Amino acid sequence: MSELAVFGGEKIRKKPFVSHAIIGEEEKKRVNDVLESGVLSGFIAKAGGNFLGGRQVKEFESLVRDYFGAKHAVSVNSATAGLHVALGALGIGPGDEVIVTPYTMSASATAIIMQNAVPVFADIDEDTFCIDPEKIEEALTPRTKAIVLVHLFGRPAAMDEITAIAKRHGLFVIEDCAQAPGATYGGKPVGTLGDIGIFSLNQHKTITSGEGGYIITDSDELALRMRLIRNHGEAIVEDMALTSIENIVGFNYRMTELEAAVSIGQFKKLDFLNDHRIMLADYLSKKLSGLEGLVLPAPNKKDKDVYFVYPIKIREEICGISRDDLIKALQAEGIPVAGGYVKPIYLEPLYQRKIAYGKGGCPFSCPFYKGEVDYSKGRCPVTERMHEKELMVTGVCKHPHIKEDVNDVANAFEKVFEHKEELRNFKA
C-alpha cells in the first residue's frame, strides 16, 4: 500500500464518519404533537395520577416494561439521576460502602457519593472489561451494602457469579446498562438480573432523547421509593401514608413530555440498531482476524453483545508496535480510534484527595464511616494496564455506517501493519 498518512501519504478515509443520532419521522411527529398540546411536562409533585407524569411519559414507560418483561419502569432525566434514585431507594447512606468498577463513566461512582456512601473499586476482567467477580469478593467488608456493575461496551458482566456473591452476603445489585440496552446474558435481558437496572438516553447512546434515562425493577417497594425520589418525595410521603421515609429527600429528576416523545420513537428502533451494530462488528472481526497481535472481541455464545463500541486489545510483543503508535497512525488515516476508555476513576482528584462535601473530606472522613478506603495507583492493575497500554476502541460499528465504511477501517489497519517497520524506525 501507499505511504502512511502520518508520514505525509494519502489517507485511507477522506470523509468523516457519522456521529449524530438518527432521528426519524415518528420522533418529529410526536414532538410536534406535544408542542401543539402545550403540555411540555405532565408531572405534579402531589399524590394522584399526575404524580406519575404525562401521557408520553406513561406510554414510554409502558413500552419499556413490555420490552424487558419488567413489572415497573421509571423514567428519569438522566442515567446519572437513575443511579442516584436507585441507591437512595435501596437505603444506601452514610457509613456504607458500595463496590463498583473503576472503568466506567464517572457517575457510576459519584452517585454513591451523592448518597454520602463510599465507593470501593474492584478491578475488571481483562476479557470482558467488566467488573471481576473474584475482585468483588476481595473488596467485601462488613460495611458493604451493594454492588454497582456496568455492562461495559455493550458486553454483559458475569451475572451468575456476581448475583451468587450478592446472595451469599446479602447485598443489592444495581446493573448500569447505559451502554448495553438490548444485550442479554444467558438469554435474559441485562437490567433484569439484579435488583435494579438503569439505562441511558444520552446523546451518545444507542438510542437517545438528548438526555434522559429509565430504570426497571420487579419490586413494588423499590419502584415507589424511586418515583418519590424522582419527584419531590419529601412533600408527598404524608399524602401517600408512607411510614418508611429514609432517603426520601426528593429531587426533580422527571422526564419531560418532549424527551418521552423522542424516546418512544427511538425505543422502537432499538433491536434494529443493535442488530446493525452486531452485523458490522462481526464483519470487522473477520476483516481483522489475520493481523497478529490484535485481540478481537470474542463474546460468550450464551450472551448477546450489542457493541456500544468495538474494543481491541494490542499485544505489542506480538505485533511489534505500541498501542499509542498504532492509534496515531490510524487516526492519521482518518479512522476514529482512541486509546483506553476513561482514566480509572479512583485516580481522579476527588478520590486521590478524598474530598467531596465540605473541607472535612466527607463522606470519606464522615463520623459514620468506620473504614479506610484505598485509592492508590496500582489498586486495579488490570484496569490500569488496559487503559495505559493495551485497549483501544472505535465507534464505527453502528448505523448508518455500512460494510464499505468498515472496509476503510480494516484497510487502514492493514496499511499500518504493512508499514510497522517504518513506524518503529521513526520512533527510534
**25-269 fold:** Aspartate Aminotransferase; domain 2 (3.40.640)
Domain segments of the chain as ranges: 5-22+270-341+383-427, 25-269
* Two domains, one topology: 5-22+270-341+383-427 and 25-269: no
Predicted local confidence at residue 428, as pLDDT:
44
Ranges under pLDDT 50 in the chain: 428
Active site residues: 205
Q: Is the pTM of this model over 0.85?
A: yes
Predicted local confidence at residue 156, as pLDDT:
97
CA atoms within 13 A on the CB side of 115: 32
Predicted local confidence at residue 21, as pLDDT:
72
Give CATH for domain 5-22+270-341+383-427: 3.90.1150.10
Nine-digit cell string for 222 = 423499590
